[in-house]
A and B are shown apart, each in its own frame.
Chain A
């Protein structure tokens, strides 16, 4: 990145980028200088404040003006200094605080019964307790939980071959949240490196108890595996629950037989197919298929993908003809598909109201990428490797390509970050605020109506 001087920039402030060597190292993607610029100019403070206020902006008499101030934030600073229970009364308080310490990570917690920074004034028992009262229903899907079924990367890496696992996870969970649970205001956010977060912001979701959150998380749980058991998905009964059946038919089957096979070729080598064969609980079937494939391995000139597909067909046919042998074989085919494709959420994140989760539009310290929202209706097009990084954003500012003030409602902002912010506003924030205002209005009217009644004797 070179320094550009003079006329090409029309901005009032000149931003000096630190000098760059020609091959940027990973550390160059993320450093304190970039953070300052990002939080100084690009982070959408007003939008985040509007979102987390849920309509309690003090304009309506039915508003709770202290609502935003009871939300917990946590900052992680340089050198892993961790500050919990931070709270702010207004958007500008939040902005000032962030601009004074430029945290590496910002997490959002629950809305408590009192301001988090005043919590010590309240005892743990009795009627005035410091306890969470509202919190979005959140989900965290991390691609490292899929390491046993992806062969292209492992650990913290992610590529275009394994990212589709996240895409299909989003589709399954999103459809279920809307169709089964009736939620409407759902925000999906890229976690910055290798996963996605989901924020369900409906009022009834925010008021769910830990037990109810746990129930929803368990509803989504299918995979129960670790290295100590071979069969990690056990689908009992005679047929699939309608939610699983719909997920299978609409998303998982097609993904498994199409994109997954193409990207991962899960049958092409002995190591790979052994793992799948072990999921079949019948030893005879296992040996039959093993033999067949060992023999064919020597004499095949097909591509990995073609071999993989052929073997999958053979496996399906064998199981279909033999499934009456044992009840555990009845849904073996589906179990294999589920093992490789069904979403694996982190249960602990969803179960507790006080769990902190990274804020959208933060920057991931290891990659420098911004945690941008993902459109669930177009998630096939999302590419984690094309998400803007800090250095790209800085360069864009320097070349005069983006507006400095992100709070402008200008629709012509086509900068890298502007698109994401526009999407956040139009498809999530605006419908949410509309419904929040309606709710505040109607509950206010009910309260007024009740007190009016009490006056009539």
Chain B
């Protein structure tokens, strides 16, 4: 009896285990949106064109710095359609032609496309070539027609093109012979058949070409020399007058070219502005009769009166953005000004010829965290009382987009989230008592109704309407977006840093923004550039009353040796706790595996002079650091000359200022790649917080292999310098890829392998004791993925059970990397269909769950591929024992199972990175993919073996229990009766 009772559960366990190993990972239709969310963004708007015809929907067409062209709903800000052009297809200009085509000029002015306005389908595309690269300008004259064709005038690649608006055919083109001619403006005076092309040749010559718009014939070419030179910026004040600055930025030049005669008018700025100091810059605008210059931070508006006479109309001290002119009637043009003033922004709309009268003057309260307005676009509409109304589209410093109308924000879009540069995860606060169910649910009746519906659903009694109601209830479950920690660790905060220097906290439940924080500007640093995000304080055991915080590393200015700025931000509230302006640059940040008594992590910051600075600057931290002083090693990669160096700490800084938190470094080792044959293309290390559950791997033949698990391994891939270009630019003979595994403490090359005929780009991921990398095989004309696994041989003797039992093994002994390593590696390559944008690996809390590779494909989707497919022990005919172990027979290419797309039907446009965060539940990992879009989901690579799934049949369980209880009662009664009968016998 005892044997049986033991055997049956064991068998069940084995059965269950095998069933859980099957790599099925798909979603049912009704599970979409339950634990995943997807957000669409467009990026910082560069240019916007309104399309507000009487018929049709009101929309605005925008082009962005993420190379997106999008059509947005003017009423709600939703995306009607959107196209992401490639990263090397930068949009130069957009406009609307004939009221129904969106015309875009991109790729340095060489591609002109037309898109259908209502649905965003491409109508035509034409390639414009020219002799040399130049500024590209797009102009759509409203009433210029050549044989009933509306004309698009494009200046690009130093050539002027006239393109038909209907089919994209080039009607005529015109080259400019003058050497070093730099075009600044292409002007088409309304109502005439002339095109003016103006610009500078050399540095002091102003050139003007007058061209017949009908056939491209050169009518007139004039040039004039201004001895002291020009600044390369022009402001157009009328169709035959431009304003420029001389090379010192102190003299305004009014250049008019009426009737082809060029005439200069010089006005020193000091003549019209009393207290001007410093050079001026022209703010590009196109308001007739008025232009704006900026001296230091003061914006000055100047009006041109008659023959080159200038007059200052207004000086504004606040940050100001000016819109382009908008014709509101035959003779009137309006433009808008947006000023930032504390917590408010002031909007002013004026007529171009009448500065004093305001068409619109409003103040709107604006969130401080949005910063200053960067751009403004104006659009008008007819109010119900037949007067002119204006709506303004403004782009803020944090890249958000807002539509303002009637003194209110109609809608806003957080488009800064389209350019995330770093992500980290943070826990939510622990749930406090006092929040009862009643508060969450609306009332008892609703609550009862919900549970009745659920019961109906589980008992399969629900009608289709009920099913829909249940589904919407599941999607909107308030449990999901609660602001407290959950038992399984599914609810977290994703702290993201965007390129605009803004921090957002996104809730993993539904992706809503919990708080946002624009990096603080200080006196010392006007424009901090956010670089990286680190977890500064993660309170757990003691110090639980502290809030967790993150460290934001930013740089003060664009150059790499600019001084750094550290900001510490509370992740619960989004408040900046502290901000430090450093006197040194930050080249490298090393989070150390030590924390102080308040759980603040020690960080070592390496500056450009190879000094190491310890943070936090407390004596306690210094004490901890001193203890580990001789055990700290790091490496630096010099990409430009292909050298990797290893460093260790030497002594205190020997500078003039005594700083006990600053340390000198010394070089311990170096790897010098021959510059003529190798160039570093990828370096990857293991994630610092990765957990490895087991060190040993049991083979099919009862053998044990010990994984070589070292946090100090670096994977480096080098390619031939010739082959670092586009795929196909070299022959297989002159291109190769070398993969290295380097120990970063001693600089030992543990493994080195050459792939001949291979070419980058290389994408790699490193986890546990394996690395997977992706490259292009020129010989096979296919992409390839390789895996390297590294095993420790020095511990391979520990196979004897008795040794383990008696403790005569060296498994627990300390390992020194200065010992000569005894490692063996196994590797294998497979073909892979897709090119790859990013590659990551799932990570779980304890590292027990099997791993999946997450591959960001070229189609902007995330594919989950079981690591078992990349096992170097795969062979064509695995033995029975190997099959039982789960080794898949070798195939030449990796399978792409359509169900294993994590993103199911969605696309993460412009995918750049995939981040995995372990949940508290061992089976589950949280996946966040970001690009222009954001996508979040939960994954269970080996299914949720440690919890009941959503679709677990509680009804069946209940019925079984009831049936069992009933059966017990019945049998009990029966047995009683039988016993009684026996007794009476």
Do chains A and B interact in one complex? no
